[in-house]
A and B are shown apart, each in its own frame.
Chain A
Amino acid sequence: MTAISVRHLWKEYGDQIVLEDICLDFAPRSFVALVGPSGCGKTTFLRILLSQEHATRGEVLIDGRPIAPEPDADRGVVFQRYSVFPHLTVLGNVLLAAELAEAPLSGRLFGARRRQAEEEARALIAEVGLKGAEDKYPAALSGGMQQRLALAQAIMRKPKILLLDEPFGALDPGIRADIHVLMKALWNACEMSVVMVTHDLREAFTLATRIIAFERRRNRPEEAARYGATVAKDIEVWPKRIAGTRNPATGVGGSPDTPHSPGRDDPATSSGTGRDDPALKTA
């Protein structure tokens, strides 16, 4: 169980204040969507959670302890781009996660353990819909396929926290719907919390348990540098989604997840009662 707690976090680049006094608590197994205008510091916030950047002031706690000062295997990531290794095939990319973990000297697995890891990797590759592309290099994959590969690679290592930076930004609505289903399934199946940056509010409401909007309170040019972004909205998605309760055998009080939410131009459909999304209510 991993609770993330952000205490009075400030981030400044030189004179420019990017994040200002952010205080947030994420419950274990939450799926948080971060939204906000471009340049407001979403990526910066994610980088701090990853320890790629460090807070100027304030702290981030995971399960009550300060986060490690450098990226580690507890926190997986999918970046906007450059997330996969161009010199490895699809299978090699996913397998690498196991190899790096288990072979600290040679970085390679052999024999039975390798076969086992390969099987695991192949299953994961199939799960993200890349079956048949195992031996292709990333340069031969489309942007969406690369992102799915990056997702498989991150999941392979079973991180406690998965950080996603606009991972599906470049995908068309059809593939996006597929990948949303996949994302939900992964979140339900794996013991992890997810923090995802997105520009797409629909995506945020489709996936997340909670939506955080960052915004600069002042945006006049002469003030912009001195005021960073703060949490402008903090919305719990209703009905509550609880990880791992989708399976009817174990599920009590799970959300009525529709595996396929309507496409952008489809007529809106009702997705259960009480969902305070006006677009969805009008059906």
Chain B
Amino acid sequence: MRLINVRPDRGTALVLAILPFALVILAYVLGSAERLALNPDDKLLPSFGTIGDAIVKMAFTADNRTGDYLLWSDTAASLGRLLAALAISTAVALVVGVLIGMLPAVRAFLAPFVGMVSMVPPLALLPILFIVMGLGEESKIALIAIGITPFLIRDLAMRVEELPHEQLIKAQTMGASSWLIALRVVLPQIAPRLMDALRLSLGPAFLFLIAAEAIASDSGLGYRIFLVRRYLAMDVILPYVAWITLLAVLMDFALVKARRLIFPWFGAAK
């Protein structure tokens, strides 16, 4: 049988999906055991026991200086920044993207500019943001927003232009104004696509978040891992990285679920 026609059944698919995770964990355990056998004080690949202790210390023990549970206060700080930035980006991208996609005049006016701006490396702007906005929350949120908004705008504008032209004509023959076409024809069809675009921009959003926190912050997940790096505290860094990854995966998953729930027509119509 041709390889393209070989489909694993559910059980096999599950085993196949778990396999890479299991292999990575196994490799870690073996490597860690070997290094610890040579040097019990090795910090590079701590045992799961050590990592467990670190998790208990970060997540379930109040910090004796601030009285916070650090993992949770870091998570709250980081997610606050991330969600604020995502909200701003989404709102801006929705308005500008739909305008560029629908109105030829706005497209002529803004599309080249947005195309250019999207090529500016956001991290190169970070010093400017720190200078202009200070080291507070604003500059971090601004970095994330600047990092992902141009991508979202361009993606949405393209999705709007992709809608069959017949639909826009049809809406006009039903007497709709540009406003009503945006409201009843374009926006509802763009919303699920926006959620997909948001999923794709979660990765960059976390990247900019960690970068901003690493450079100037006193809280947040990125701040913490760069702080404990000084003590080679791999037992803290590793669970933090795993936690950040898990957060991103959960957000991605929630977006897919929400899209399916709110826009049941979308999957079938594509």
Which of A's residues lie within 8 Å of B, judged by CB? 50, 52, 70-73, 75-77, 79, 81-83, 85-87, 96-97, 99-101, 104-107, 137-140, 153-154, 157, 159
Contact = CB atoms under 8 A, between A and B. Distances in A.
Contacts of B175: 72-73, 100-101, 157
6 contacts: A70-B172, A71-B172, A100-B176, A105-B179, A107-B180, A137-B264
Nearest to A80: B166
B263 interface: yes
A65 B33 CA distance: 89
A101 B269 contact: no
B264 A73 contact: no
A157 B174 contact: yes
Nearest to B175: A73
Contacts of A153: 170, 174
B188 interface: yes
A100 B171 contact: yes
Contact of B263 (A52, A87, A100, A138): A87
Interface residues of B, number: 25
A104 B177 contact: yes
Contact of B183 (A76, A107, A139, A157): A107
Contact of A81 (B166, B180, B268): B166
Nearest to A75: B173
Contacts of A139: 265, 268-269
B263 A96 contact: no
Nearest to B185: A85
Contacts of B167: 82, 85
Nearest to A165: B166
Contact of A99 (B164, B177, B184): B184
B93 to A, nearest CB: 20
Given A73-B174, A75-B173, A137-B265, A107 B184 contact: yes
Contacts of B180: 100, 104, 107
Contact of A82 (B164, B188, B263, B265): B164
B250 interface: no
Given A87-B263, A107-B183, A137 B173 contact: no
Interface string B129-148: 00000000000000000000
